[in-house]
């Protein structure tokens, strides 16, 4: 017996797919290539997560985020992280204001650039850990607390951070607690020859792309709610859980590569990310239920920043993605008990 999908849900799914494609096309007017990066950023936006984008300077990370801000009707701010940036420069501070008429003084909270809906944290690993940690409450709770007073951020709230590779001089590794707040970590690679030619043709001839806003804040919030209604069957959920637990050294689902090279496995947020990312990809395929392949599509960006390698892994030049690819390959989709 085939379950019939509610016509209203089916209509909402079709609209979701149309809006996602419209966003991708608008961004494509300015960004050449990097389809996986664009898809990852849009996925995080439409499920309510945050994104960390890593790559060497000059690969278009900031330009991508600026273009997305133009394609959605949301308030946008850019924060340039530097070593001398202080937490109050991001969150805001309480100042003393005086009424010109009465001369009465009072404390007033002056909001910082964090009070927006899309926040670009540019080169976030250039700032000290103290300043980086100022983003923690905002990213998790969508609010900030100053002087004992809680200030709520406007929804939808989306942080997109860029960072240069950790091995470059003048950078500070992000604290593990903050890395865990990012839904995805996306790696921007070099463009190929054809893409470079297109970039040169666009950027050295006076070409100015016209980006239109194709999605509102209310539509994004509606999309986030729709994603959470997608069904994940118990056997698919079990696979997502086991695929995450495969990163736990000494655990019941750990593989040989885990015990040999992994120091710390992923947190429960990784499973949440796998679940939400899989649900979104199911919608993009016109389905209202998830599959194993949906989980696999988001496995690397959801896991790579949450798992720490041990000394042996680092000494042998093993990358986190190397370990994750092996976990993905060797973790069975179905257990014998489930089968």
pLDDT averaged per 10 residues, the chain (length 339) = 66 89 87 84 94 82 85 90 90 80 77 91 88 86 85 92 74 84 90 81 77 89 93 95 95 93 93 96 92 96 94 90 95 68
User: Which residue has 């014998």 as its token pair?
Assistant: 336
Peptide bond into 54 cis (omega under 30): no
pLDDT in tens, 104-120: 777 777 888 999 999 99
Q: Fold for 1-83+117-214, please state it.
A: Rossmann fold (3.40.50)
Q: What is the pTM of this model?
A: 0.88
CATH 3.40.50.300: which residues of the chain?
1-83+117-214
- The closest alpha carbon to 246, from 320, 326, 184, 305, belongs to 326
Q: Which residues pair with 60 in a beta bridge?
A: none
Q: What is the CATH number of domain 230-339?
A: 1.10.8.80
pLDDT of the residue at 337: 46
Greatest pairwise CA separation for the chain in angstroms = 78
pLDDT of the residue at 134: 83
């Amino acid at each position: 017996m085939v379950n019939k999908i509610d016509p209203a849900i089916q209509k909402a799914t079709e609209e979701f797919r149309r809006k996602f494609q419209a966003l991708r096309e608008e961004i494509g007017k300015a960004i050449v290539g990097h389809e996986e990066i664009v898809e990852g950023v849009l996925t995080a936006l439409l499920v309510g997560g945050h994104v960390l984008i890593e790559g060497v300077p000059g690969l278009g990370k900031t330009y991508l985020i600026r273009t997305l801000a133009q394609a959605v009707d949301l308030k946008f701010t850019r924060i340039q992280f530097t070593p001398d940036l202080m937490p109050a420069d991001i969150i805001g501070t309480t100042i003393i204001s005086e009424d010109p008429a009465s001369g009465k003084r009072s404390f007033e909270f002056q909001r910082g650039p964090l009070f927006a809906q899309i926040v670009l944290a540019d080169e976030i690993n250039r700032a000290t850990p103290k300043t980086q940690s100022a983003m923690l409450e905002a990213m998790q709770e969508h609010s900030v607390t100053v002087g004992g007073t809680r200030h709520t951020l406007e929804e939808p709230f989306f942080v997109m951070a860029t960072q240069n590779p950790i091995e470059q001089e003048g950078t500070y590794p992000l604290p593990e607690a903050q890395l865990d707040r990012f839904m995805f970590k996306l790696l921007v690679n070099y463009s190929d020859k054809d893409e470079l030619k297109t970039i040169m043709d666009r950027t050295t001839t006076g070409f100015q792309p016209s980006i239109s806003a194709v999605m509102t804040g209310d539509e994004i919030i509606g999309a986030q709610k729709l994603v959470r209604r997608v069904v994940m069957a118990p056997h698919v959920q079990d696979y997502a859980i086991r695929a995450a637990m495969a990163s736990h050294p000494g655990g019941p689902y750990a593989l040989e590569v885990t015990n040999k090279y992994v120091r710390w496995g992923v947190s429960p947020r990784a499973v949440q990310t796998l679940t939400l990312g899989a649900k979104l990809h199911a919608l993009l395929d016109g389905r209202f239920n998830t599959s194993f392949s949906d989980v696999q599509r988001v496995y690397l960006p959801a896991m790579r920043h949450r798992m720490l390698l041990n000394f042996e892994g680092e000494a042998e030049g093993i990358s986190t993605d190397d370990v994750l690819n092996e976990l993905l390959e060797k973790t069975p989709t179905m257990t014998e008990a489930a089968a």
